[in-house]
Amino acid sequence: MKDHVELRSGAYADSVTLLQVSRAVQGAPGVVAAQVAMATGLNLEVLTGMGFDVPDSSPNDMVVALRLDDDADLAAALAAVDAALVPTRPTSGDTTVAPPRTTGSAFRRTGPGAVALVSVPGASATVEAMDALEAGHDVMVFSDNVPVAEEVALKRYATSVGALVMGPDCGTAVIDGVGLGFANTVRPGRIGIVAASGTGCQQLLALLDHAGADLDGVGVRHALGVGGRDLSSAVGGLSTREAIRRLDEDPEVDLVVVVSKPPAPEVAASLQEYADGLGTPVELGLLGRGQRDLTAVAESVLARLGHDAPAWPSYGADDTAAATGPLLRGLFVGGTLCDESMLMATEALGPVRSNIPLSDDLALGDDLLVDDHTFVDFGDDALTQGRAHPMIDPTLRNEQLARAAADPATGVILLDLVLGHGAEPDPASLLAPAIAAARAERRVPVVVSLVGTELDPQRLAAQRDALVAAGAEVHLSNAAATRRALQLIEGAQ
């Protein structure tokens, strides 16, 4: 085999585009491996781990790294890269009108009520979001890596003009039945959700959809994401209050549910006081030590609507399964799901190490696999710089899954798989082979929480069946999956 690595200085494409380019080139004749990416520190580590020798570069350079068969045509492979990089141009519609050049000018062509969805590199997101707010419109900031000071400035301005900022790092929203970002497709109903949590919102959407198949009113009218830092001390719940206020005024909403990563205690207390003064009942589902898990929150929502909770199903359970070592490895694409599982694991096993630790002294360093119980959120800002979110590009998680499976100290591997419109079209096709390889390595048990609905484009049942066929035990409840993983680890102690 032969390697070819080149830098294209000043060239730029977003991480999702480059992921698609890499996959397209991977299928070209004679190409063994292809990675086309911006030369960020994280991407350079991945390339080095793949065995490529990358010359000195800057984050403004595009790296084209190809591994070819000895008799492969390099020129043809590079031509495949160039062809995949050509942007798609419209082939129909009115091409006589120039597209708007700014967010504000785009709004001048729309009617009232339009929402801006900002998905640009974090360094540029604040400018676009403020442009939307100044034009009098709400904004969803999908972008991550936005400084917290800029988030506070955006939300303070929005509060002053009666607008709503969803985000930054807002992965999921549903507005009047229309999903944005990674949203799941769910049945409509009379529940309103406010979520300082992307995958926490998706877990609640999925559980309520499963439970409400034959129940009146158990569906979602709006799910307003506000970004995972909104209930921090720095931000103070600015967007959460505005979102609750709007849902309280909506006559089509009978119950408001607030779901969040662990909030600042003083912000949570203030939010409870605010919610108590509203006319619409508010169910607070705020994760934290001693607090309910997300599945218990869903069950409480059902109870408030007069319904019993179902028995949350699992698939592929093996009564003979046993931990193959003393350590639990949690590898997550969802930050809130990772938080929830860490809280449960800490109560059962004691402190666990993580890149999003529950306390600073438990932070992982550069090596994500250490001799301890470990939980990794691959969607954290530090692991998505210059890369697509792991719900789109699972490469880093799959690499760590292989490492964990090969480590004799690993007893159980706990994963999540999250479906939705913005996610990988067939994520199980990428995760199932990695699970099968892990199971073949040492028969290490793999437990998966599968978050999604049958109405999602990936189809829940198809994803479930592929994971079970690979040897995984699959749960619709992340809390139930975590309890099962803990049961297996505790059984080995």
Confidence of residue 19 (pLDDT cuts 50, 70, 90): confident
Q: How far apart are CA 121 and CA 313, in angstroms?
A: 39
Q: Where residue 92 falls among pLDDT bands split at 50, 70, 90?
A: low
The pLDDT tens digits for 362-407 are: 999 888 889 999 999 999 988 988 788 899 999 899 999 999 999 9
CA–CA distances in Å: residue 383 to residues 140, 144, 229, 340, 395 = 22, 11, 17, 20, 11
- Going by the DSSP 8-state scheme, the letter that residue 281 receives in this structure is -
Q: How distant is the alpha carbon of residue 7 from its chain centre? A: 30
| CA dist., res. 119 & res. 170, Å (int) | 10
> pLDDT digits over 26-38, tens only?
888 999 989 998 8
Number of residues assigned to the chain = 493
Asked whether this chain's domains 2-85 and 314-491 adopt the same fold, the reply is no
CA–CA separation, 407 vs 397, rounded Å? 15
pLDDT at 91: 53
- Determine the pLDDT at residue 493: 67
Q: Which residue has the higher pLDDT, 89 or 149?
A: 149
CATH class of 2-85: alpha beta
**Superfamily of the domain at 314-491:** Succinyl-CoA synthetase domains (3.40.50.261)
| Least confident span in 33-47, 160-174, 198-212, 238-252 | 33-47
Among 9, 13, 18, 19, CA closest to 425: 19
pLDDT tens digit string along 408-428?
999 999 999 999 998 999 999
**Mean pLDDT computed over 444-470:** 97
pLDDT of residue 211: 93
Burial string for 247-259 (b: 16+ CB within 10 Å, else e) reads: bbeeeebbbbbbb
Residue 177 in contact with residue 393, Cβ under 8 Å? no
Widest CA span in the chain: 73
Distance CA 229, CA 267 (A): 11
**What is the per-residue pLDDT for 86?**
85
- How many angstroms separate the CA atoms of 253 and 239, rounded? 18
Q: How far is CA 261 from CA 180, 205, 268, 314, in A?
A: 20, 16, 11, 25
How confident is the model over 212-232, as a mean pLDDT? 89
Residues in a beta bridge with 282 = 256
The dihedral built from the CA positions of residue 448, 231, 147 and 201, taken in this order, carries a sign that is positive
**Terminal-residue alpha carbon distance, the chain:** 46
Distances (CA, A) of 279 to 226, 248, 276: 22, 7, 8
pTM of the model: 0.87
Q: How confident is the model at residue 152 (pLDDT cuts 50, 70, 90)?
A: very high
**Measured distance CA(384)–CA(378) in Å, rounded:** 8
Residue closest to 380 by CA, chosen among 370, 392, 390: 390
Phi-psi category of residue 414: left, alpha or beta, with phi > 0 → left and psi -120 to 50 → alpha: beta
Convert 185-247 into a string of H (helix), E (strand) and C (coil). CCCCCCEEEEEECHHHHHHHHHHHHHHCCCCCCCCEEEEEECCCCCCCCCCCCHHHHHHHHHH
Amino acid at 287: L
Q: Rounded to 5, what percent of the chain is helix, strand, coil?
A: 40, 20, 45
Query: How confident is the model over 285-295, as a mean pLDDT?
Result: 95
Confidence of residue 112 (pLDDT cuts 50, 70, 90): confident
For residue 328, the number of C-alpha atoms closer than 13 Å in the C-beta half-sphere is 32
The predicted structure's pLDDT at residue 94: 60
pLDDT of residue 296: 98
Question: Where along the chain do its domains lie?
Answer: 2-85, 103-304, 314-491
Per-residue confidence at 316, pLDDT binned at 50, 70, 90? very high
pLDDT tens digits along 54-77: 999 988 899 999 999 988 889 999
Per-residue pLDDT at 463 exceeds 80: yes
CATH classification of 103-304, choosing from 3.30.70.1230, 3.40.50.261, 2.60.120.10, 1.10.10.60? 3.40.50.261
